[in-house]
Structure 1
Amino acid sequence: MSAIVVFDIDGVIRDVTNSYRRALADTVEHFTGGNHRPNMEEIDNLKGEGVWNNDWEGSQELIYRYYEGVGTPRSQVNYSYGEIVHFFQCRYRGRDPQNADTWDGYITQEPLLVDGDFFQGLTDNGYFWGFFSGATRGSAEYILTRRLGLKNPVLVAMEDAPGKPDPTGLFMAVESIKQRNNIRESLPVLYLGDTVADMMTITRAKSVKPDDDFRAIAVLPPHIHHHESLIAGYSKKMLDAGAQEVLTRVIDFSGC
């Protein structure tokens, strides 16, 4: 059975435990004067709220919450969003965040969770695929084209659409896949992601287009794979948010 398969990137295609999440923790630690460094559980809980898919905004929110916890209203926290983004990007991308040719930050160390053969296998089995991610286009393309070697994949990135769980970017990715492959019939749309916001994106897509076949598939993020005590709770959270299935790894995906 043919289907359109759209992938999130962070935590699904690449392991961001020691890159995005590390940069987020570095940023919060820096802007709280070294007084607070969020651990993985705190970051998971933040993302579990379903509205902090953007790690720059998530960093800012944890900074605000720290200061509120010590009696300073967020209105009196003087760090600008631009300062927070710049610090984060210098950690994540490197000293020259705008020049991908010289990046030497955490992004260069991210383990890949798939290889190019995985996507060739999808194509061989009749699936049409692309990506919808909250990552910046530069970051996403660095992984997809430079490291995975994919040729001009369909990609809707942070700059292209509102953040998840708004389904606009998902609709854009699906439409691009249809146009590129001259698909005229209605096909199931599967979205693979690792956060509550990803699952909620499908729930909202169904409310906008109730006659279309949207399906959410959760992928467990790598940082919990070796913690049995966390897997059941994380899986339940994904199922409660709308996932129809929970996979340990994206390479376990076998289709409809």
Structure 2
Amino acid sequence: MTIIDKLHEQFGQQIALEEVSPDVMRVYAPFFHEDGDMLSMYLEIQKNGEILIRDFGNTLMRVSYTFDIESSNKKNILSNIVKSNHGILDDGELMLPTNLSQLPQAIFQFSQLVAKVSNVDILRRETVKSLFFDYLNEYLTTNLSAYNIIRDAKPSNDKSLIVDYEISGSKPLFLFGVNETSKAAKVVISCLTFQKQKIPFRSLVIHEDFGSLTSFYRNQITNAVDKQFTSLEDFKTEGLDYIQRELAS
């Protein structure tokens, strides 16, 4: 069975191929960007008979018009989105290897991959989420420069229990950033362990989004720590005054 026969079997006459070089064919199929342009999709026949679906960089070129993807952090986010959708990102190009028997399903998968990468709103949300600790660190470094702050402090013999920021004082303030359930669980374990070890400290948690935690972990962390701010914005509003009062007492 030829490639076009296989595709017609799945898509009927809605799909067509155009040869652009001896081993590369462009796919014309009813998959579109939000602005109505058809997705750029090509099939490259490999020497071993496998098929590589690729876009020759068109998708990221379109994304770059409205979203800056040059920073290493944003490139990592983009790479994770591609991997989670079973694709390959190679020098700005999206690819998906497949074979003839799986080609129709792979074309559907590739169209979903392009849609995810093209969704600038998703990229922006993922960027903001991943930058939570960068924003927190920048704010603390800028506004608490008068205090002695230790990053990644290890106040106990168990070196796996790490405090994001220890602010020195008569009773040190252990500050944690929490952006997901797994981090909340680590903070709960750390604080309870420090308490059992009779380590003197006060604990402060700054959440990216307290409401995104499960009710179980919201209760657990509320019972384990001394003070919480439900978002970074809340901390920016009242957090510095709280820290000053704590360290002055």
Normalised-by-shorter TM-score class: 0.3 to 0.5
Q: TM-score, normalised by structure 2?
A: 0.33
With a CA cutoff of 8 Å and minimum separation of 6, indicate the structure with the bigger relative contact order: 1
